[in-house]
Amino acid sequence: MPSHKLRLDRSRHAAPQVFEHLREQIMSLELAPGAPLSRVTLAEAYGLSQTPIRDALMKLAEEALVEIYPQHTTVVSRIDIAAARQAHFLRRSIELEIVHVLAQQPDPLLVQRLQASIDRQRVCHAAGQYQEFMAADQAFHRDMHAAAGVTALWDMEQRYSGHVDRLRRLHLPEAGKAERIMDDHQRVLDAIAAGDAPRAQQALREHLSGTLSQVAEICKRYPDYVQAD
């Protein structure tokens, strides 16, 4: 069940807010793979009827983040390695073109914004704030999409990213992982700022390959959380 109570914004529909809150907790692994999600208990926890809870769970199921067993139960899905690989392929394909476009005409304001994101990542890492670190990591990539004028593609990628992003969350606490992420981001940014598209693409390709290159080890460490290929 949710580890902290959601304060509902009464100006918005309840179901999207419950969806966002549960998704955040699934992505952070506060709701771990295999965790049961009782519609009745969730309704009591959020102070809502079961209708918005059902709608939120159905949307989570569309992203394959939960598995709904009618008349039985709903559980947080295990991390599907095959789905993670496909989401990674999609993101890599899109972002390779994005960094190429951005490096062709470097924007000083974008460079400043991306540098601020990296600086924020360093602060979060120093404080051991993994979830905040991941948010700053996501902001770095989202800002590149926005600068390239393809924000809608970012939204699309997020609908498929649940498995690969949870895999990255499992990998993040490993020694040296966060440092590599920040160093990779800096290399991508420096290449964009220098107008060097091939170098930006190579840095991005190496950056995005990090977690999936360690899939076997992650599966070995967290066998109850993953569903192998």
pLDDT digits (tens, 9 = 90+) for 73-122: 899 999 999 999 999 999 999 999 999 999 999 999 999 999 999 999 99
Tens digit of each residue's pLDDT (9 = 90 or more) over 33-69: 999 999 999 999 999 999 999 999 999 999 999 999 9
pTM (whole model) above 0.85: yes
Q: Is the pLDDT of residue 9 over 90?
A: no
- Quote the CA–CA distance of 200 and 101 in Å, as a whole number: 10
Looking at 47-196, list the stretches that DSSP marks H as alpha helix, in order from N- to C-terminal side. 50-62, 81-104, 108-126, 130-147, 151-160, 162-171, 177-193
How far is C-alpha 61 from the geometric centre of its chain's CA atoms?
16
pLDDT at 4: 56
- Quote the CA–CA distance of 122 and 124 in Å, as a whole number: 5
- Quote the CA–CA distance of 65 and 162 in Å, as a whole number: 7
- Label residue 212 by pLDDT band (50, 70, 90): confident
- CATH numbers and ranges of domains, the chain: 14-76 (1.10.10.10), 81-222 (1.20.120.530)
- Quote the CA–CA distance of 88 and 174 in Å, as a whole number: 20
- Label residue 150 by pLDDT band (50, 70, 90): very high
